[in-house]
Amino acid sequence: MSDKSAIEKIKEASEHLRGSLKESLQDEITGAIRDDDQAVVKFHGMYMQDDRDRREERAAKRLERLYSYMIRLRLPGGLLTPEQWLAVYDVAGEYGTGVIKITSRQTLQLHGILKSEIKPTIQAFQLAKLDSIATCGDINRNVLCSSHPGQSPLHAEIFSYADKISRLLMPKTKAYYEIWLDEEVLLDKKEEEDPLYQERYLPRKFKIGIAIPPNNDVDALANDIGLIAIIEDEKLKGFNIAVGGGLSSTHGNPETYPRLATVIGFVDTEEKLLKAVYEVVTIQRDFGNRSDRKRARLKYTLDTMGVEAFVKELEKRTGFSLEPAKPYTFTSRGDYYGWKQSVDGKWHYTLLVENGRITDDETQALKTALREVALTGKALFHFTCTQNVILSGVAEADKPVLDEILVRFGVKAKTEESSLIRRNAMACVAFPTCPLALAEAQRYLPSLIDKIEPLLAKYELEKEPITIRMTGCPNGCARSYAAEIGLVGTAYGKYNLQLGGDRVGERLNAIYKENIGEAEILAELEPLFAAYATNRKTGETFGDFMLRRNG
Ligand code: SRM
Ligand code: SF4
């Protein structure tokens, strides 16, 4: 076995994720924190970043980079009360850039928080009963669950599992409370012994999502563990368990690849589900690659062990056998925009948030509108895995009040008048904050869609809900490998055009053209749209057509 990676050593030496964070915070000479602490702070839900747009200007003035921190909340299932929304709104304005970003994993991020403002930010979150524990780092992340309250009469029951799993897999360390909330230092360190994570935590990030068929809005199979709720006779019978999903690769490294999770079986009780989830995590802890971080995700552990050996190990650890997987069908993956009635008779409105950026702009005053909605106290806030918002739990009598707000600030028009391709689009953050971005994504995709829309119109394809997803690098944060049209950044202004993915998240796309710019992307897409319009079979999606055409 080769040597452990540098990050492994940092984790083990960190005294349960304390590192020298307290000292780093006190250092007023720099906006940065120490190198080792940059790895440790991720486990507390934060990333040190700098404004890449301003690197040259700062370097010319011999100033250090403009360091700030991105903080990501832990919101299992992506749900906030209106009071909590107002708290996030205030924090974003006071300490962040003002923009609230909905992520592709159903939670919220604030960017641009200076080092001196991290503690006040975390403290304000704590007052609102919010935290950022374990939303980054080599640990179980925010647990996803289908967002749509109208999806199933069993939505609330299934939704509760996101929280149960999140709590089951939380780290035991009290470092977060000690460092950010100034709570008393533990005298007896035994109290935070962590049988799950031990001192080494996981070899890599770990992700779990729960889907409620027929909608796969969480992209369950893109997760390390994808759980698929099995409903029969309107009762929750249990969950199919899928393992080994992950959507990242590295350009030029064939040892890395995106992979959809493999369904390995079914469990029928809560106890068995939680046991199985826990033991999949321990297998990854014990067998995952700790020397090469590029090959450290569960998908590689699974492929190295083989599915059969993996299941055998899991059954040994749980003490029970998995039942054969139950049949299920995904027929959709997106959000159901507009007003819809929930099973309890209340209403919910799903609104489009282009690439998850909540701000006021020339098209709509979205941020102001959501504040007004929250001030009424008449709706809960859900965040979807396609970076949108659902306002839920709205009484029939309150619907006109909220509707008026959505109309007044241009939100309803934006949601309902946007083209289908725009509504089914998603881009990752990329520039200016993501240090790994090779190309633009959320700042650029809207303008590319402006140019794709007329092409679709020309071939009368406006009513086709084609999915398009863009990422600024091959890490796949907007799940660009699981789209009908994927654009994966290779260099500034250049992308791999990936085609042939299905519409429900059960088949990945493949590279169609490498490293091309906007003009070539449009020139490649136009004849394909033309061919699709002429030659598609009834009901055939663009992704399925591309697969049939190109094999
Ligand atoms: Fe991601 C790293 C943003 C979902 C795969 N991701 C990053 C970082 C933190 C860059 C970094 O390491 O310094 C990005 C911060 C940008 C910024 O300025 O905010 C970043 N990832 C995001 C978000 C915000 C994209 C978005 O626009 O919504 C998503 C936050 C989700 C959350 O709330 O937790 C986000 N990232 C994803 C997803 C999609 C998913 O989970 O469904 C993936 C692909 C699925 C997967 O994990 O396989 C994803 N992000 C990565 C990877 C590649 C991991 C790997 O297996 O190699 C990295 C790089 C890394 O970990 O080394 C990464
Ligand atoms: Fe950054 Fe790449 Fe993720 Fe986009 S896909 S947010 S560029 S790491």
- Choose which residue among 47, 50, 52, 104 to substitute to test ligand 1 binding: the one with the highest number of ligand atoms within 8 A of its C-beta: 104
Report the alpha-carbon distance of residue 15 to residue 175 in Å, rounded: 9
433 in ligand 1 pocket by Cβ < 6 Å? Answer: yes
Which tokens sit at 56?
């040259």
Residue minimizing CA distance to atom 47 of ligand 1: 246
145 is catalytic: no
Distance 32 CA to ligand 2 centre (A): 21
Q: Is 267 helix (H, G, I), strand (E, B) or coil?
A: strand
428 is catalytic: yes
Report the alpha-carbon distance of residue 389 to residue 382 in Å, rounded: 6
Q: Please tell me which residue in 205, 272, 333, 378 is annotated as part of the active site.
A: 205
434 in ligand 1 pocket by Cβ < 6 Å? Answer: yes
473 is catalytic: yes
CA-CA distances (angstroms) from residue 178 to 10, 125, 174, 381?
19, 15, 6, 30
Which tokens sit at 126?
């704590």
Please list the residue range(s) of the chain that carry CATH number 3.90.480.10: 46-132+335-418
Question: Mind giving me the DSSP string for 532-545?
Answer: HHHHPPTT--HHHH
434 is catalytic: yes
Which tokens sit at 386?
């396609």
Of ligand 2's listed atoms, the one at least distance from the Cα of 434 is: 1
For 26, half-sphere exposure in the C-beta direction (CA atoms, 13 angstrom radius) is 5
- Choose which residue among 104, 247, 471, 492 to substitute to test ligand 2 binding: the one with the highest number of ligand atoms within 8 A of its C-beta: 471
334: nearest Cα among 370, 387, 382, 391: 387
487 in ligand 2 pocket by Cβ < 6 Å? Answer: no
- Choose which residue among 475, 487, 508 to substitute to test ligand 1 binding: the one with the highest number of ligand atoms within 8 A of its C-beta: 475
426 in ligand 2 pocket by Cβ < 6 Å? Answer: no
Distance 268 CA to ligand 2 centre (A): 37
104 in ligand 1 pocket by Cβ < 6 Å? Answer: yes
Question: Mind giving me the DSSP string for 506-527?
Answer: SS--EEEEEEE-HHHHHHHHHH
Residue reference for tokens 């299992």: 76
Please list the residue range(s) of the chain that carry CATH number 3.30.413.10: 143-170+178-334, 422-550
Distance 450 CA to ligand 1 centre (A): 26
Distance 350 CA to ligand 2 centre (A): 26
545: amino acid identity, one letter: F
pLDDT means over runs of 10, the chain (551 residues):
87 95 94 96 95 89 92 96 98 95 97 96 97 97 90 87 96 95 78 92 98 96 98 95 96 94 98 98 98 97 98 98 98 94 92 96 94 98 97 97 98 97 97 96 98 98 97 98 98 98 97 98 98 96 95 68
200: nearest Cα among 1, 46, 4: 4
Phi-psi region of 238 (alpha: psi -120 to 50; beta: other; left: phi over 0): left
Of ligand 2's listed atoms, the one at least distance from the Cα of 431 is: 7
For 504, half-sphere exposure in the C-beta direction (CA atoms, 13 angstrom radius) is 13
Nearest ligand by distance to the CA of 295: 1
Nearest ligand by distance to the CA of 250: 1
> H or E element: which one contains 229?
strand 225-232
CA-CA distances (angstroms) from residue 306 to 44, 282, 427?
33, 17, 33
CA-CA distances (angstroms) from residue 286 to 3, 203, 382?
15, 9, 35
Of ligand 2's listed atoms, the one at least distance from the Cα of 441 is: 4
Would you say 337 and 382 are in contact if contact means Cβ atoms under 8 Å apart? no
Residue 550 is predicted with a pLDDT of 82
429 in ligand 1 pocket by Cβ < 6 Å? Answer: yes
Q: Please tell me which residue in 136, 145, 385, 434 is annotated as part of the active site.
A: 434
472 in ligand 2 pocket by Cβ < 6 Å? Answer: yes
CA-CA distances (angstroms) from residue 493 to 284, 297, 444, 510?
37, 29, 9, 20
418 in ligand 1 pocket by Cβ < 6 Å? Answer: no
Strands of the 380-383 sheet, one edge to the other: 79-80, 380-383, 389-394, 347-351, 338-341
473 in ligand 2 pocket by Cβ < 6 Å? Answer: yes
Question: Mind giving me the DSSP string for 428-495?
Answer: ---TTT-TT-SS--TTTHHHHHHHHHHHHHHTT-TTS---EEEESSTT-TT-GGGSSEEEEEEETTEE
430 in ligand 2 pocket by Cβ < 6 Å? Answer: yes
Fold of 143-170+178-334: Sulfite Reductase Hemoprotein; domain 1 (3.30.413)
List of residues 6+ apart from 214 with CB closer than 8 A: 329, 330, 331, 332
251 phi and psi angles, rounded to 5 deg: -55, 130
For 4, half-sphere exposure in the C-beta direction (CA atoms, 13 angstrom radius) is 12
List of residues 6+ apart from 440 with CB closer than 8 A: 430, 431, 472, 489, 492, 493
Which tokens sit at 333?
């993956």
Nearest ligand by distance to the CA of 492: 2
Q: Please tell me which residue in 136, 145, 385, 477 is annotated as part of the active site.
A: 477
Residue 152 is predicted with a pLDDT of 78
Nearest ligand by distance to the CA of 508: 1
Distance 8 CA to ligand 1 centre (A): 20
Residue minimizing CA distance to atom 22 of ligand 1: 477
Of ligand 1's listed atoms, the one at least distance from the Cα of 433 is: 18
CATH of domain 46-132+335-418: 3.90.480.10
Residue reference for tokens 């009484």: 395
Phi-psi region of 208 (alpha: psi -120 to 50; beta: other; left: phi over 0): beta
Residue 187 is predicted with a pLDDT of 67
Residue reference for tokens 């452990």: 4
261 in ligand 2 pocket by Cβ < 6 Å? Answer: no
427 in ligand 2 pocket by Cβ < 6 Å? Answer: no
Residue 2 is predicted with a pLDDT of 67
Strands of the 225-232 sheet, one edge to the other: 144-145, 208-211, 225-232, 235-243, 262-267
Residue 3 DSSP symbol:
P
437 in ligand 2 pocket by Cβ < 6 Å? Answer: yes
43: nearest Cα among 17, 15, 70: 17
Burial (Cβ within 10 Å: 0-12, 13-18, ≥19) of residue 184: exposed
Distance 70 CA to ligand 2 centre (A): 14
301 in ligand 1 pocket by Cβ < 6 Å? Answer: no
CA-CA distances (angstroms) from residue 204 to 41, 237, 433?
15, 32, 22
468 in ligand 2 pocket by Cβ < 6 Å? Answer: no
Which tokens sit at 186?
């533990």
Distance 474 CA to ligand 2 centre (A): 7
Domain 422-550 belongs in CATH node 3.40.605.10: no
Report the alpha-carbon distance of residue 345 to residue 106 in Å, rounded: 25
Of ligand 1's listed atoms, the one at least distance from the Cα of 136 is: 34
Would you say 50 and 111 are in contact if contact means Cβ atoms under 8 Å apart? no
